[in-house]
Chain A
């Protein structure tokens, strides 16, 4: 016995997503436990890389790799915490009892995660430019922002899906990363390879089009897939 066809996506979906997003941002502002940890983790990781690689500065593909991997692992911290309040304080039930389109939860959470990643990068990328990067960051920034933005969409969509799966399991902090990291590997490759030429010593200002296209394709496919399966994760 299944629930009947989902009601059409009404304007209510976006308003509902807005209500959930607003609640999540309020909770984060109030508690401030996720975002500062992500930022701190990223900066500490840069320092670790400095000592691990034993180089004064890095550039090109190496720099892109370090930056992307660090952002990915910091994103994992955020992903792990995304649905914890829902699970522990009855937020799922509260949402499921309301007469709303359930995809709104996916949209709201993915948007929240995306915003967290943007804030993370606003701090972490300049820090990276300061601590590790050889060439100056300024002229490369627009291209880098484009690549990172597309990468963030991938991280946000897949992160939300994986987080929703993981939060209902017993080993939730472990399941999230072990499923999420392989799924995000293609996105990681695309971001790193897209940013590599940008961060090279004689780098150009625009990222290679191929990688941008791959990232965009990846984003679209997984956004659609997540939208299709998300309801099944919520119902009982």
Chain B
């Protein structure tokens, strides 16, 4: 599959949307009375978080397709999806810490259940690469990684549900992001930012898939033209090859 096709258009769209989002954040969205300027990091933090979580679930779906079809290219897609989501997740935690410092006591902050759930999910997916790395047989590595992706992908919504149910009785706070609690200007900015970050994820995913796919094709061609021994066997790695 040619992952490079449409990549330029996608990258341009991403760059455009993110630029617009930044403009909105800096010039359009209202300044928060309590937290001041630092609150604006919310417009990056929330989209990063949602994209990361969706990325993990997406990785699980791709893993399920891999097990169903037995075609290893789905495993590579699943790997890239999860690995990108991990990066976005780290970004979430980073921006979240900055924001938490500034948002002490603010009423529409991410309250505990969400933070806890997110942390649990990150701790879980942080084991994905060590798991892959510790299985040497490449086929088994792919299969086990897909099982992991499915189970942990299913875990993401369950985890949020369970932890949210836990807090619902203790803190009867209705925390809706796109509900009446957000003024219109903030909602718009958040939406544009969300679209921008989501596009960024897809672009990066396609980009990495293109790079991996090209590398594999080059190896296959070398093996075909120059013989089996011209290509050194890949070192033990977490990434599928």
Contact = CB atoms under 8 A, between A and B. Distances in A.
A69 interface: no
B148 A179 contact: yes
Interface string B136-167: 10011001101110111011001100110110
Contact of A175 (B120, B123, B134): B134
Interface stretch (B49-57, B82-90, B124-132, B176-184): B124-132
Contact of A178 (B120, B127, B169): B127
B204 interface: no
Interface string A210-236: 100010001001100110010011011
A63 B127 CA distance: 30
B224 to A, nearest CB: 23
Nearest to A170: B134
| Chain B contact surface mostly | helix
Interface stretch (A17-25, A36-44, A145-153, A186-194): A186-194
Given A168-B135, A221-B154, A214 B147 contact: no
Given A186-B162, A229-B147, A229-B151, A179 B70 contact: no
30 contacts: A165-B131, A165-B144, A165-B148, A169-B134, A169-B135, A170-B135, A170-B136, A171-B130, A171-B134, A175-B127, A178-B127, A178-B130, A179-B124, A179-B131, A182-B121, A182-B123, A186-B158, A186-B159, A186-B163, A189-B163, A190-B162, A218-B158, A222-B151, A225-B154, A229-B150, A232-B143, A233-B143, A233-B144, A233-B147, A236-B139
A175 B131 contact: yes
B131 A193 contact: no
A236 B140 CA distance: 7
A182 B120 contact: yes
A161 interface: yes
B67 interface: yes
Given A182-B123, A232-B143, A236-B139, 6 more contacts: A1-B70, A178-B127, A179-B124, A182-B121, A225-B151, A232-B67
Interface residues on B, range: 20 to 34
A85 interface: no
| Chain A contact surface mostly | helix
7 nearest A-B residue pairs (beta carbon): A182-B124, A169-B134, A186-B162, A170-B134, A182-B123, A171-B134, A229-B147
Contacts of A183: 124, 151-152, 155
A168 B151 contact: no
A30 interface: no
B146 to A, nearest CB: 7
A2 interface: yes
Interface residues of A, number: 30
Contacts of A182: 120-121, 123-124, 127
Contacts of A193: 166
Contacts of B146: 232
A178 B133 CA distance: 14
